[in-house]
Chains A and B, each alone.
Chain A
């Protein structure tokens, strides 16, 4: 398009009323000049004017064909249809309200669940090239399920493997933070040197741990999470270089991570160095970044062959053990994927059901309007015109329903985020929000539902026999009956699927709730206690022993015991327990 033409379009579009006046003036000027020409030729003023008018022809028609060249008539017609639709819906507020609320319920529920789907399953984890990050696990011979790693094997993978450009081990540990006035226990993560470089996130302030070192004596350094920095230090920038006391030793604050940083499903406040202690047990998680060009499958194969090697080299530690790699996102959200997809399908059915209901209402309304449409067809409205008008009516209803649905969806998301119990451990729930993809989804859902519920009534009304309708409007009411019967069947089918699906879910839940855990959790209380480092392990045992004796002496206490990790807690914890020797 040339600049001139663009200016023309722009003027035509935004100055329409002005242009209409201009067109009328142009015609008036033409007629006036023709009149003067005729008077100059000797005609009387009256005949000259009449002749000029006759010569010009039908002004309205000429204006119409001229306007058609401006090229915006479809938009005008659409706007006219929109105004007409809005007026006719305003005249039947009850009908409109029922349709809009029905659609809003469908679109709202599906928007809320889609925002879960988007925030949890679809969005990338907050690390650069997060799809290259993997979790590495050992696989025990008994269960064949991923198990935490022993550091000997971590070092073996790191030194011999070629699939990963970097690799880090970490362990969740509550830490005692000694403040000026009171002590506080905060969640912490002990990490090896390359933890931060593996994840690839730069610190917001200061630096992170220096990579590439195996620590026998780890540096007394600590990296703060954004939350800890805000909560414990009030977000002060001069926190770098300060010493804080963690588990009775001083640590220098070297950096602060940005707000979005954190391992999925973890809420750590502090990151401290983890020394490589090859005498420890299987306690550690391992995260690794794939080397560019290496596929997940190749990395898994290499890891398995390395594990086979270590199993031969250290039979006592590794006999029968293998190893596997799981993509980090899969690790974080794999457990909730099926349930989210099922939920999404369920709300999809609800939306379809809402559409079927609305389609039914629209059909009833269309029967009432049979005469109106027949009259318009008889007066020369094209079938395209009628179809466009009905489509615009559907879109208007869907847009109102969509907006209300968005509000409901937003409220639903807020409710889900605040009221779901923490014990459900839904990963990444804090990342769920109404964002651009969710808005796009809800717009698409609205348009799709407009097409679904608007199509049947629109096509039905075009099949009308005009002359019959004009003669007796009663006959036309029967014509939509077949389609409406089909709609009712569809609704029943959809509802049946939903009800049976919901029934199956309740059944699964009840069966899950009745699975025996192997212990009685009634009347059992737990308390978590952090033992500070001591010179001799015996002191710990003494302390625990003494405390247990005191607890047993309390009235109402039947029995008391201690354990490192509670049953059904911890990262992939074992399935058996042994009696620890008490010193």
Chain B
């Protein structure tokens, strides 16, 4: 169960960053929705948590855009799950989103620490 203190420390996701996080997570290989949300939480040091109400619409939207492919497989725990994988277009999109993110970080840093 989530601790209330942890909850307060969470950061609201910026609009559009969820796509980047999902694509980045899937760059390491196909994953199902649960694993994607676990991975994002773990790798952000528990700071970022993706609600299912945001995750699944995003996954289905990315699939519709042709950036993800979905396939039903059985997980290591013998649980049937829907696995999402990056398509060729998805890989391209990931690079584009990364560039966009770095640009944003640079710009915001510039504003915060004027040289």
Asked if residues A62 and B56 are in contact (CB atoms below 8 Å), the reply is: yes
Q: Judge whether B79 is part of the interface by a CB distance below 8 angstroms.
A: yes
Check A84 for interface membership: any CB of B closer than 8 A: no
A34 lies within 8 A of chain B by Cβ: yes
Contact A69 B57, beta carbon cutoff 8 Å: yes
Least CB separation from A3: chain B residue: B66
Q: For chain A residues 11-58, which have a beta carbon within 8 Å of chain B?
A: 12, 22, 25-27, 29-30, 32-34, 36-37, 43, 51, 55-58
Q: Interface on chain A toward B: helix, strand, loop, or mixed SS?
A: helix
Interface size on B, residues (CB 8 A): 27
CB A107 to nearest CB in B, in angstroms, measures: 41
B63-97 vs A, Cβ < 8 Å mask (1 yes, 0 no): 11110010000010101111000010100000000
- The answer to whether B61 has its CB under 8 Å from any CB of chain A is yes
Give the complex CA separation of A71 and B60 in angstroms: 11
- Do B75 and A8 have beta carbons less than 8 Å apart? no
- Taking the closest CB of chain A, its distance from the CB of B6, in whole angstroms, is 13
**Are the CB atoms of B52 and A4 closer together than 8 Å?**
no
Quick one: CB contact mask for A181-208 with B, threshold 8 Å, 1 for yes?
Answer: 0000000000000000000000000000
Q: How far is the CB of B59 from chain A (nearest CB, A)?
A: 8
Verify B53–A61 contact, CB threshold 8 A: yes
CB of B53 within 8 A of CB of A4, answer no
- Chain A residues with CB below 8 A from B57, complex form: 62, 65-66, 68-69
CB neighbours (8 Å) of A143 from chain B are none
Asked if B100 lies at the interface with its beta carbon under 8 angstroms from chain A, I say no
Nearest chain A CB to B93 CB, angstrom units: 12
Nearest residue (CB) in A for B38 is A37
Contact B60 A70 (CB under 8 A): yes
CA distance A3 to B32 in the complex (A): 23
If A57-B53, A61-B53 touch, does A33 touch B87 (CB 8 Å cutoff)?
no
- Say if the beta carbon of B1 comes within 8 Å of chain A: yes
A5 within 8 A of B: yes
Given A56-B52, A66-B56, A29 and B34 contact (CB-CB distance below 8 Å): yes
Could you tell me if B81 and A8 are in contact, using CB atoms closer than 8 angstroms?
no
- A57 close to B77 (CB less than 8 A): no
A71 to B66, CA, bound (A): 14
Tell me, rounded to whole Å, the shortest Cβ–Cβ distance linking A40 to chain B.
9
Contact yes or no, A8 B34, CB < 8 A: no
Find out whether the CB atom of B1 lies under 8 angstroms from the CB atom of A2: no
A8 touches B52 (CB 8 A): no
Q: Contact: B89 with A4, CB < 8 Å?
A: yes
Q: Which residues of B contact A70 (CB under 8 A)?
A: 60, 64
Closest to B54 in A: A65
Taken together as a complex, chains A and B put the C-alpha atoms of A58 and B75 apart, in Å, by: 25
B53, A62: Cβ atoms closer than 8 Å: yes
CA distance A460 to B57 in the complex (A): 38
Please state if B66 and A32 are interface contacts (CB–CB under 8 Å).
no
Chain A nearest Cβ from B26, distance in angstroms: 15
Chain B 21-39 interface mask (CB, 8 Å, partner A; 1/0): 0000000000011110010
Chain A contacts for B33, CB-based, 8 A: 26, 30
Is A8 in contact with B38, judged by CB distance below 8 angstroms?
Answer: no
How far does the alpha carbon of A69 sit from the alpha carbon of B52 in the complex, in Å?
Answer: 14
Q: How long is the Cα–Cα vector from A474 to B89 in the complex, in angstroms?
A: 61
Which residues in A have their C-beta under 8 angstroms from that of B2?
A: 55
Q: How far is the CA of A27 from the CA of B81 in the complex (A)?
A: 9
Bound Cα distance A248, B64 (Å): 82
Place the interface of chain A in its size category: 20 to 34
Provided the pairs A34-B34, A69-B64 are in contact, do residues A22 and B53 lie with their beta carbons within 8 angstroms? Answer: no
Interface presence of B12 (CB below 8 A) = no
Assuming the contacts A4-B89, A36-B77, asked whether A57 and B64 have C-beta atoms less than 8 A apart, the reply is no
How far apart are the CA atoms of A349 and B56 in the complex, in Å?
55
Whole-angstrom CA separation of A8 from B64 in the bound complex: 6
B51 in the interface, Cβ–Cβ < 8 Å? yes
B79 touches A62 (CB 8 A): no
Tell me which residues from 53 to 102 in chain A have a Cβ below 8 Å from any Cβ of chain B.
Answer: 55-58, 61-62, 65-66, 68-71
Give Cα distance in the complex from A524 to B57, angstroms: 90
List chain A residues, Cβ under 8 A from B60. Answer: 66, 69-70
Chain B residues with Cβ below 8 Å from A33 are 32, 34-35, 75, 77, 79, 81
Question: B66, A2: Cβ atoms under 8 Å?
Answer: yes
Output the least CB separation between A57 and chain B (Å). 6
Query: Which residues between 95 and 141 of chain A lie within 8 Å of chain B, taking CB atoms?
Result: none
A2 vs B32: C-alpha distance when bound (angstroms): 24
CB distance from A27 to the nearest CB of B (A): 8
Rounded to whole Å, the gap between the CB of A61 and the closest CB of chain B is 7
B96 to chain A, nearest CB (A): 15
Which residue of B is nearest A6, CB measured? B66
The minimal Cβ–Cβ distance linking A44 to chain B, given in whole angstroms, is 12
CB nearest to B51 among chain A residues: A57
Complex Cα gap A91–B65 (Å) = 44
Q: Given A69-B60, A71-B64 in contact, is the A25-B51 Cβ separation under 8 Å?
A: no
* Minimal Cβ-Cβ distance residue in B for A34: B34
Residues of B within 8 A of A66 (CB): 56-57, 60
Not counting A4-B69, A22-B82, a sample of 14 additional A-B residue pairs whose C-beta atoms are within 8 angstroms of each other reads A5-B66, A9-B64, A25-B80, A26-B81, A27-B52, A29-B34, A30-B32, A33-B32, A33-B75, A43-B1, A55-B52, A57-B53, A69-B60, A69-B61
Which residues of B come within 8 Å of A, CB atoms?
1-2, 32-35, 38, 51-53, 56-57, 60-61, 63-66, 69, 75, 77, 79-82, 87, 89
Q: List 25 A-B contacts (CB under 8 A).
A: A3-B66, A4-B69, A4-B89, A8-B64, A22-B82, A25-B82, A29-B32, A29-B79, A29-B80, A29-B82, A30-B33, A30-B34, A30-B52, A33-B75, A34-B34, A36-B77, A36-B79, A57-B52, A61-B53, A62-B53, A62-B56, A62-B57, A65-B56, A65-B57, A69-B64
Closest 3 CB pairs of A and B: A4-B66, A2-B66, A33-B34
